[in-house]
Structure 1
Amino acid sequence: MKWIPKDNRYESMVYNRCGNSGLMLPAISMGLWHNFGDDTPHARKVDICTTAFDLGITHFDLANNYGPPPGSAELAFGRILREEFAGLRDELIISSKAGYNMWPGPYGEWGSRKYITASCDQSLKRMGLEYVDIFYSHRYDPNTPLEETMLALDQLVRSGKALYVGISSYNSQRTREAYDILKSLGTPFIIHQPSYSMLNRWVEEDGLLDTLEDLKVGSIVFSPLAQGMLTDKYLKSVPEDSRAKQGKSLQEGFLTESNIAHIKALNAIAAERNQTLAQMAIAWVLKKGRVTSALIGASKAQQVIDCVGAIKNIEFTDSELKKIDEYAKEGGVNIWKQSAEIA
């Protein structure tokens, strides 16, 4: 039976203004970093995306290298755009990025104008799009002048290939520098995508959240569930079908005795709030309106449903926040730390 979008899909989702732009983003966005490569059945990808859209998730986030293999997530999403989301383009926010290794040779990664321009062209072709809504510099390039990287983003907007641009995993200092360059060019830099969770609080220590508030730039945080650690998945053991066992971005070594103890304590607090741990972890990054959107991943549609349930209760008492802070400790899980440090 052909999927038909639900008429009430916008009734329960919360939409937040992205910085001082005119763009509204859902409080929860869908990331296609994992589970959208050739190792996942296409029917499952369709189920995840259509479920997300029916729940009011309008923003789908990709990158050139998402897979495996690199590029396959964009190809899969392009098929979903043609077959399931046909006629819905103007209701969607679609983003992609360039920065990590994508093809052989000296022009296949980092932040040169050549790489970013070619990467965007390839992403648009894979997805069958004329433009993306947001295009990101996926990581700071210490060997390319920041002006060159930002000028490449500026050119994507001026050529109609992107409506807005953003950056990912840049630290506070480099974010200010990027903002100043783009402002001088008149390009709408509206969003930053850093990692952030109860086990990875570098954006607080670096002052990045304060910087974004000061600049009136929006934020969409990825890995708010610490790549699945802030769920009930690892409370008893490490499942064979988990990321940790599959050798993906979540290293089994992250599941230390200390981290597991903190996760169990946080799970108990979530239960007191009548939330799952995943729901509380998402609500926590959205607290006090400092974050525009939480970017989730999912291996099945039910996980999307559970995560969206977080928006039913994103308020915390001071007592709850104090108690959470006892266990929301750095867990050594920030695999993007080097990118932020060299930035």
Structure 2
Amino acid sequence: MTQRVGTPSLSLLSILDLLPLESKSVTARHPPPRLDISINIEEVTVIKEVNSEFDSGDRIGGQVHRVVEGHDQDSLVASAKRVGRVDVAAADRKMKVAKAAFDASVDGGITFFDTAEVYGSRASFGVVNSETLLGRFIKERKQKDPGVEVVVATKFATLPWRLGRQSVIAALKDSLNRLELSSVELYQLHWPGIWGNEGYLDDLGDAVEQGLVKAVGVSNYSQKRLREAHAKLQKRGIPLVSNQVNYSLIYRVPRENGVKSTCDELGITLIAYSPIAQGALTGKYTPENPPTGPRRQIYTEFLSKLQSLLNWIKEIGETYIKTNTQVVLNLLIAQDNVVPIPGTKNEEQAAKFAGALGWRLNSEEVAELRALATEIKPVTGFPVEKF
């Protein structure tokens, strides 16, 4: 049984040619490629990255992105005042920046957005779930442009206290309420659960059959878990369409541990988060100008070893009139069956990401970059991928 995924309406750029599709009617076995928007207004409220119902957050870009709670602009400001550690004008400004990033993505032909229920939570001192913001942005865009088709993927947090087969359905319905949608194109398990994984998979199948989702996937699954999930869903005639993992030119673990080859074998799309390695591959940072925050300790020494690769990426980009970011995203796209999902903070970044589409590195360039990257030891990834 093949479940159809809604095809986004594309204008300036085509993203359907990034995977081998039989036609422009996209099937669940091969969901449409997309670039992800990360709703990032973290400066609106200064909160810890833990002490939340979901001790997790948007890991794209290596940050936990939070936004202030509220279903309209007035409640946004009210929540900002309640937290007491923010500038109200800054809250308004950041909201506008996030909305501009969303609109720029859609304008550039990027109409598939990935989010999750844990990207902001109501237990975190009054922050809003990113699904709420994304739903609001979609609604406002449709009012302006009724013909636009925005496609949404979100995720279920496999928290240890969520037991029973109906936990996924209940959480999904909450997500749909926040998004103000009747269904989403893709629903994913965010990481392997400590227990209850078979029940979660059963519930994913129920969600497809109830018409709440058009396709289902997983995240951070090992080769073994991936095969088990695929086989279980296959018994019900439901394809497992995706596995979202940390994957980039310098973080090659999915290729080395068999996850990439298993995805290729089973027809599962590998969705690559952190595809620009938390900014390390953009050329923005150098040993003399490392990133701030937690990434500084991770990348200061690492950046000195990365310079020869960055110089080669820049040289290749100049032949196409492309940036480092666009080159490394296109490198993943060129692998086939890989969909990169960088997170965007602003309108400028969204436009740059769109520039990764509509062209292709040749096989020689791909091989050169891979060979040079193998000389660099990968940075640390998300530990659950080893379970």
Task: State the TM-score bracket (shorter-chain normalisation).
Answer: 0.7 to 0.9
Question: Does the alignment pair 1:91 with 2:149?
Answer: yes
Amino acid at match of 1:22: T
Question: Does the alignment pair 1:318 with 2:378?
Answer: no
Aligned-residue RMSD, C-alpha: 2.7
Contact residue 267 and residue 276 of structure 1 kept, 8 A: no
1:72 counterpart residue number: 129
Deviation at 1:300, TM superposition (A): 1.1
Provide Cα deviations, 1:46-84, integer angstroms capped at 9, x if missing partner. 111110011111101000011365652111111112212
- The alpha-carbon distance between structure 1 residues 100 and 88, as it changes in their structure 2 partners (threshold 3 A), is farther
Provide Cα deviations, 1:279-323, integer angstroms capped at 9, x if missing partner. 1211121223241x2111111111121122223543234365235
Contact residue 51 and residue 301 of structure 1 kept, 8 A: yes
1:13 counterpart residue number: 14
Write the distance in 2 (CA, Å) between the matches of 1:148 and 1:300: 39
1:52 counterpart residue number: 105
SS class of match (1:255) = helix
Contact residue 34 and residue 113 of structure 2 kept, 8 A: no
Write the distance in 1 (CA, Å) between the matches of 2:249 and 2:305: 10
1:136-215 to structure 2, matched below 5 A, reads: 136-144=188-196, 146-215=197-266
- The alpha-carbon distance between structure 1 residues 112 and 234, as it changes in their structure 2 partners (threshold 3 A), is farther
Deviation at 1:34, TM superposition (A): 4.1
SS class of match (1:94) = strand
Question: Does the alignment pair 1:269 with 2:270?
Answer: no
Amino acid at match of 1:289: D
Write the distance in 1 (CA, Å) between the matches of 2:305 and 2:141: 41
Write the distance in 2 (CA, Å) between the matches of 1:156 and 1:287: 32
Amino acid at match of 2:308: A
**For structure 1, which segment, 152-161 or 19-28, has the greater mean C-alpha deviation from structure 2 after superposition?**
19-28
Write the distance in 1 (CA, Å) between the matches of 2:296 and 2:323: 22
SS class of match (1:219) = strand
Deviation at 1:184, TM superposition (A): 0.3
Write the distance in 1 (CA, Å) between the matches of 2:290 and 2:300: 12
Contact residue 171 and residue 340 of structure 1 kept, 8 A: yes
Superposition TM-score, scaled by structure 2 size: 0.74
1:226-265 to structure 2, matched below 5 A, reads: 226-235=277-286, 236-238=288-290, 244-245=292-293, 247=294, 251-257=295-301, 259-265=302-308
Candidates 324, 341, 355, aligned match of 1:309? 355
Write the distance in 1 (CA, Å) between the matches of 2:248 and 2:264: 18
The structure whose Rg is larger is: 2
- How many residue pairs get aligned? The number is 316
1:118 counterpart residue number: 170
SS class of match (2:341) = strand
Candidates 379, 383, 387, aligned match of 1:332? 379
Contact residue 61 and residue 94 of structure 1 kept, 8 A: yes
- The alpha-carbon distance between structure 1 residues 62 and 115, as it changes in their structure 2 partners (threshold 3 A), is same
- The alpha-carbon distance between structure 1 residues 277 and 112, as it changes in their structure 2 partners (threshold 3 A), is farther
Superposition TM-score, scaled by structure 1 size: 0.82
1:284 counterpart residue number: 331
- The alpha-carbon distance between structure 1 residues 339 and 299, as it changes in their structure 2 partners (threshold 3 A), is same
Write the distance in 2 (CA, Å) between the matches of 1:63 and 1:191: 15
Contact residue 331 and residue 366 of structure 2 kept, 8 A: no
Q: What is the identity percentage for the equivalent residue pairs of Structure 1 and Structure 2?
A: 22
Deviation at 1:262, TM superposition (A): 3.7
Write the distance in 1 (CA, Å) between the matches of 2:268 and 2:253: 18
Contact residue 44 and residue 300 of structure 1 kept, 8 A: yes
Q: Which runs of 5+ in 1 are unaligned?
A: 1-7
Write the distance in 2 (CA, Å) between the matches of 1:33 and 1:113: 30
SS class of match (2:35) = strand
Deviation at 1:221, TM superposition (A): 1.2
Amino acid at match of 1:13: S
